[in-house]
Amino acid sequence: MNDTPEEIAVKDRKMFGFWLYLMTDIILFATLFATFAVLRNATAGGPSGAELFDLPFILVATLILLTSSLTVGLAILGSTRGYKKQTLFWLIATFVLGAAFLGFEVYEFSHLIAEGYSWERSAFLSAFFTLVGTHGLHIVVGLLWLGVMIFRLWRFNFRKTDINRLALFGLFWHFLDIIWIFVFSVVYLIGGIA
Amino acid sequence: MFEDIQKLIFGRLTLEDFVHEPIMAGAGISMVAALVIAIIAVTYFKKWGYLWRNWFTALDPRKIGIMYLIVSGIMLARGFADVMLLRAQQVLNDSPELLNADHFQQIFTAHGSIMIFFVAMGLISGLFNLIVPAMIGARDVAFPFLNSASFWLFAAGMILINAPLVVGEFSAAGWLAYPPLSGIEFSPGVGVDYWIWSLQIAGIGTLLSGINFFVTILKMRAPGMTLMKMPIFVWSVLCSSSLIMFAFPILTATLGMLSLDRLMGMNFFTSDMGGNPMMYINLIWAWGHPEVYILMLPALGIFSEIVATFSRKRIFGYTSMVIALLAITVLSFTVWLHHFFTMGSGASVNTFFGIMTMIIAIPTGVKIFNWIFTMYQGRVEFTTPMLWFMGFVVTFTFGGLTGVILSVPAVDFQLHNSLFLVAHFHNMIVGGVLFGAFAGFTYWFPKFTGFTLNERIGKYSFWFWVIGFFVAFIPLYILGIMGATRRLDSYDPSLGWEGLFIVAGAGAVLVAVGFALQVLQVVVSIIQRKKNQVGGDPWGARTLEWSTTSPAPEYIFAEIPTVTSRDQFWEMKQQKKDLRTPLYTDIVVPKRSGAGVVIGILALLFGLAVVWHMVWLVVLSLIGTIITLIIRLTNDSPDEILKASDIAKHELQRGTQ
Amino acid sequence: MRKPQLETRHDDVRYKSYIVGFVLSVAATLIAYFFVVNQVWPKDILIYVVLGIAVIQLIVQSVFFLHLGRGSSLKSSTFLFSLLIVIVIVAGSLWIMYNLDYNMMQMTPEQMQIYMKKNQGL
């Protein structure tokens, strides 16, 4: 069943509007990145990134998130072709991987806090927790959104409106992985150079 | 034990916070009294249903636009009251002391914050909503619900910034709250928190609006209206919206970081533990400079429409006008350091930003010449909107020139943070944004009400504003050159500056008269509305919004027009085309929605909860917001259908217009 | 109406796009990780190499996951403009903030403390 021209126009507007929201989010992250870059050495006698970061641990988390970007792409494709079981499978896989990534983050944060290196310790740590934490908060929102989508797709049997919303979610999730490329590279890799 | 329960429920709020010294208490009480009287009146006349159905839950951009204008008007009065207090204090010069230092600082902080965020931003948001859809031949904006949510977030921010008059205190750190003064160590009270969250919440509303209008303009123009056939006002809104989208996230992040410093002991901008207060200043101005262009560009667009209409000529140099707008948009991201030339940067940085600042004056100059060339050999009619334009040209150009003076870093070292600077930016914002908004308000008022404003009172008001403005601010330029620092509540009498402050004070009174006359103008016009009723095109205008009735029906256009040239409406009139069509179709319109109001209320509660550290309310309001959003965003039937037969009935009535 | 199938259709162009993008991204991630963990170059060069690889991965994911460059040019132009603003904000901030110490005798805060303590009372 094809969309009317009006429906196509509305879908196009929503896609473009959501895309623009993602652009504004890029600027938000850019501000946090700029702040991190400026404050990267402001450790106030406390530990630096090289002393704190567990790179192998973060590598695993990075690969988990990257895989979830793949699974969500596969899910979107399935949804547009009417492959319902497959779509739900990939979406649930995305959710599990996303939750796992979040678990890694939470573990890292609680570990740092337990050692006394919380966001209060120095400007560097404030910038670190805020940049990585903001990304984590976006992941939380994404998981909430994904949960609602999985429920609705299953319960209401893949309504057109939900499939359209799923496409927007896919954009959001890809975008979060793109941001993570830079968090991983700038904060952990570059920041972790001894 | 009782204290613990009190802390848990009320956070750091105590009864003490309701006690204020006389002037603030008076202001707070009058505000609450006015609100109570309004509530009683609405209840007495049984208008709650009407207000809820036709205004609060309306997704019609014209209704939303009018609500923005009303809120901005009220805030203009509040900002003005602040001005009169500040001026009075400077005239009296501590003999006697009208305002103590802390009070003075809270008032100038409130004055600046309110004028920029709730008057200027509100006025332009209002005009966007009222004009843009009709001007491009569309029926609504791209995201009507988002539009409503944006307004109610704006309203929530407005309530938060006025709440300190009743409970708590306001920030005393200036309209941009530089740390370390605005950090938790030096401003431990609720003031800066009120300021932060009022701006954050209103800022999110603005950001969403920017996205909304950008998509609307790019995706919903009438068929045939290519980009280069759009009215210049639409171009200016497009540019302003893109600035909003790319600049406001910087504000969100920066205010967020300041808030984290205050709430969670972080060290972004503290003076120890590695913090760097200059980073705040750097970021806030990276937002702040685009912000002033966000305000300015629509005003420039408004004048393009007004000058063309009242010169009975098409705008001169359309292409160069567009290029100028685009140039200003891009360049506005390359000048921000000129706000802090004196704060440590070396020659290379200062030179770069100084030169970029000079360059950005050029496109603006191009626009002024184009307007003048439009008037040349046109049949110019000096209606009130045209008077505002003339006032703008003089005022804004004068202010722009002082801006070029300030753009030279060496000179800025003398004039930074002096009253010269204060005079300069008031020159730009009042002369540019306010005069533009007043001109636009006067020009388009008949379109959204169906009757004109009283011309005579309008003209008087204009003269009081313009003359008052110069009387109020020329002394400040002089004082600034003589070394007067800004934001001081008194100056040593031996300096002999009192005379100039008295003159400035007199100017402020003249402007106040001008403002009062504007209020009078609206009241008188409403009373006389039956006498001043007009049809769709009272001014003989050029653009599509004038082709509808005044006010336009809910669907604006029964049939979306096809555009073949610039100034399409003008062309249609020349060709004497009949604007009515015999074929009507069903039109899809969005249903009313209370979700925007709910989100505004939850945002307000969230803001109050964060300010007063009421953790339970923070959590509840967040959960409430998430639930409301989920419900609204998963709504699969948000629209309803206007039947063709109803449209036909309405259009046939048009014959009388 | 085609009967939906459970297996992924590997020959489909769109599926290929995601798989290729995924493989390239994993490769970029592992390469950058390898370079850093084994300190293949001195710090100054390593920073630019890692940033370069990140930009490459950005392009990979934009093209293969976000499908930029196909169809809508509005998305690509707004994306490019955003990146431009990002560069202005990040590079501009770094330049300005570094330059703010121009007149400060090129000392760290701790060195400045020592200097001021030594010279107090003058």
Nearest to B345 among C74, C81, C100 (CB): C100
Q: At CB < 8 Å, which residues of chain A contact B?
A: 6, 9, 12-14, 16-17, 20-21, 23-25, 27-28, 30-32, 34-35, 38-39, 42-44, 119-127, 129-130, 144, 148, 152, 159, 161, 165
Mutation site for B-interface testing, chosen from C73, C85, C87, C95 by largest number of B Cβ within 10 Å: C85
Residue the block writes with tokens 């010169």: B311
Question: Which tokens hold the place of A169?
Answer: 């979610």
Whether B286 and chain C come into contact, CB under 8 Å, resolves to yes
> DSSP character for B459?
H
Q: Looking at the domain assignment, is residue C1 inside a domain? A: no
Per residue in B478-521, pLDDT (tens digit) is 999 999 999 999 999 999 999 999 999 999 999 999 999 999 99
Q: Looking at the domain assignment, is residue C120 inside a domain? A: no
Per residue in A173-187, pLDDT (tens digit) is 999 999 999 999 999
Q: How many CB pairs under 8 A join B and C?
A: 43
Given pLDDT bands bounded at 50, 70 and 90, which one contains residue B430? Answer: very high
Q: Do B264 and A16 touch (CB under 8 A)?
A: no
Name the H helices within B173-231: 191-219
Nearest to C54 among A63, A67, A182 (CB): A182
Nearest to B246 among A27, A38, A130 (CB): A27
Q: Which chain A residue has the Cα nearest residue C30?
A: A59
Q: Looking at the domain assignment, is residue C42 inside a domain? A: yes
Q: Looking at the domain assignment, is residue C114 inside a domain? A: no
pLDDT at B657: 39
Return d(Cα A91, Cα B630) in angstroms, integer. 19
pLDDT above 70 for B61: yes
Given pLDDT bands bounded at 50, 70 and 90, which one contains residue A194? Answer: low
Name the H helices within B265-383: 277-311, 318-331, 347-375
pLDDT at B656: 41
pLDDT above 80 for A124: yes
B395 with B423: CB under 8 angstroms? no
pLDDT above 80 for B580: no
Question: Which tokens hold the place of A40?
Answer: 């990267």
- Residues of chain B contacting residue A25, judged by C-beta atoms under 8 Å apart: 249
Given a contact as 3+ CB pairs under 8 Å, which chains touch A? B, C
Given pLDDT bands bounded at 50, 70 and 90, which one contains residue A3? Answer: confident
Phi and psi at residue A177, to the nearest 5°: -70, -35
Average pLDDT of span B89-96:
91
Return d(Cα B344, Cα C61) in angstroms, integer. 41
Q: How many CB pairs under 8 A join A and C?
A: 125
Q: Which residues contact B338 (CB under 8 A, 6 or more apart)?
A: B289, B353, B354, B357, B406, B407, B412
Cα A17 to chain center, whole Å? 19
pLDDT at B414: 95
Structural domain total, chain C: 1
Q: Which domains does chain A have, with CATH numbers?
A: 72-194 (1.20.120.80)
Question: Which tokens hold the place of B489?
Answer: 């509540």
Q: Looking at the domain assignment, is residue C52 inside a domain? A: yes
Mutation site for A-interface testing, chosen from C87, C90, C95, C112 by largest number of A Cβ within 10 Å: C90
Of A27-41, B606-620, B635-649, C25-39, which gets the smallest average pLDDT? B635-649
Q: Which chain C residue has the Cα nearest residue A37?
A: C94
pLDDT above 90 for B128: yes
Q: Which chain B residue has the Cα nearest residue C82?
A: B246
B230 with B136: CB under 8 angstroms? yes
Give the residue ranges of chain C where pLDDT is below 70.
1-11, 122
> Residue C61's domain spans which residues?
15-108
A175 with A25: CB under 8 angstroms? yes
B265 with A120: CB under 8 angstroms? yes
Nearest to C89 among A34, A63, A175 (CB): A34
pLDDT at A54: 94
pLDDT at B586: 87
Q: Is the CA virtual torsion A121, A122, A124, A129 positive or negative?
A: positive
Q: At CB < 8 Å, which residues of chain A contact C?
A: 16, 19-20, 23, 26-27, 30-31, 33-35, 37-38, 55, 59, 62-63, 66-67, 69-70, 73-74, 77, 81-86, 171, 174-175, 177-178, 181-182, 184-186, 189-190, 192-194
B136 with B225: CB under 8 angstroms? yes
Q: Looking at the domain assignment, is residue C26 inside a domain? A: yes
Q: Looking at the domain assignment, is residue C116 inside a domain? A: no
Q: Looking at the domain assignment, is residue C68 inside a domain? A: yes
